[in-house]
Amino acid sequence: MTVLRTVNLVKIYQNKHVPVPAVRGVDLLVDEGEFVAVMGPSGSGKSTLLHMLGGLDIRTSGEIWLDGQRADTLSESAWALLRRKKIGFVFQFFNLVASMTVADNVELPALLAGVSSKEARARREYLLDALSLTERADAAPAQLSGGEQQRVALARALANKPALLLADEPTGNLDSRNTRDVLRLLSEVHRDGQTIVLVTHDARVASLADRVVSLLDGQIVDDGRIARRRPGRGGAGEVIDLR
């Protein structure tokens, strides 16, 4: 079952009438339950690609299919509805609702999707606990550090058990302990079947993925499945090969 498919996806920004090609013909297939890491140098089009996949930026040409549904031709309001039902998004700049507590920020997507308040609360408690944020539940976003806001954004994105988690450098502002919490949670939800497309510069994050897609100048230049061999007895740890 394919959760995400793009066909020759292109984004050209106009910068004072000068065309800036940011994404130049991306064909990407992501199966249900797959964890895909997107890597590439700064300016290679990673955020632009992710924003288009989440309907936050309009494609110039090409197709986007989400869960079997053509998405790139949707109106803005139809996209908003689709996003609410199917997508969890961790932005580079978090986008938390400033007037709501951490707990309410995390519960909101589940409540909007029609989950019972009891279920939404249970999911929120699980996520905040996994990210060492339980004590910050009643705080306002402005009272949090950048790293805390980033983790709240991840909790919010997962609140809904979305068909697709899109995350733009979700460990970009974190110290090593908090990175570890995030990695553990991503592994856990991935093991439970969560489909993930995640932009990262961090090799530790990428090493959790099933596949690493490398972007350069808006094009996929490498798409490598990571083969994992279980370590034998006395083995030094997990061996990761790029095929």
Ligand X SMILES: Nc1ncnc2c1ncn2[C@@H]1O[C@H](COP(=O)(O)OP(=O)(O)O)[C@@H](O)[C@H]1O
Contacts of 131 (CB under 8 A, 6+ apart): 151, 152, 154, 155, 178, 181, 182, 185
Pick the stretch among 31-39, 47-55, 111-119, 227-235 that binds Mg ion (CB under 5 A): 47-55
Whose CB is nearest to Mg ion?
47
Q: Which is nearer to ligand X, 54 or 141 (CB)?
A: 54
Q: Which is nearer to ligand X, 45 or 141 (CB)?
A: 45
Q: Which is nearer to ligand X, 60 or 132 (CB)?
A: 60
Tokens of 243: 């095929």
Smallest distance from Mg ion to CB 126, Å? 29
For residue 22, the partner it binds in ligand X, Mg ion, none, with Cβ less than 5 to 8 A by kind, is ligand X
Looking at 6, 47, 149, 200, which residue binds Mg ion (CB under 5 A)?
47
For residue 40, the partner it binds in ligand X, Mg ion, none, with Cβ less than 5 to 8 A by kind, is ligand X
Smallest distance from Mg ion to CB 157, Å? 17
Distance CA 157, CA 3 (A): 17
Smallest distance from ligand X to CB 47, Å? 3
The side-by-side arrangement of strands in the sheet containing 18-31 is: 18-31, 2-15, 61-66, 69-70
Smallest distance from Mg ion to CB 168, Å? 6
Nearest Cα to Cα of residue 110 among 125, 128, 123: 123
For residue 20, the partner it binds in ligand X, Mg ion, none, with Cβ less than 5 to 8 A by kind, is ligand X
Rounded to the nearest 5°, which phi and psi values hold at 196?
-135, 130
Distance CA 56, CA 49 (A): 10
Residues 1, 66: contact at Cβ < 8 Å? no
Residues 124, 106: contact at Cβ < 8 Å? yes
For residue 162, the partner it binds in Mg ion, ligand X, none, with Cβ less than 5 to 8 A by kind, is none
For residue 42, the partner it binds in Mg ion, ligand X, none, with Cβ less than 5 to 8 A by kind, is ligand X
Pick the stretch among 39-47, 73-81, 101-109, 151-159 that binds Mg ion (CB under 5 A): 39-47
Rounded to 10°, the helix 117-130/102-112 angle is 130
Contacts of 19 (CB under 8 A, 6+ apart): 12, 13
Q: How many residues bind Mg ion (CB under 5 A)?
A: 1
Smallest distance from ligand X to CB 130, Å? 27
Instruction: Return residues touching ligand X (CB under 6 A).
Output: 13, 15, 20, 22, 40, 42-48
Tell me the Cα Rg of the chain. Answer: 18
Q: Which residues form the interface with Mg ion (CB under 5 A)?
A: 47
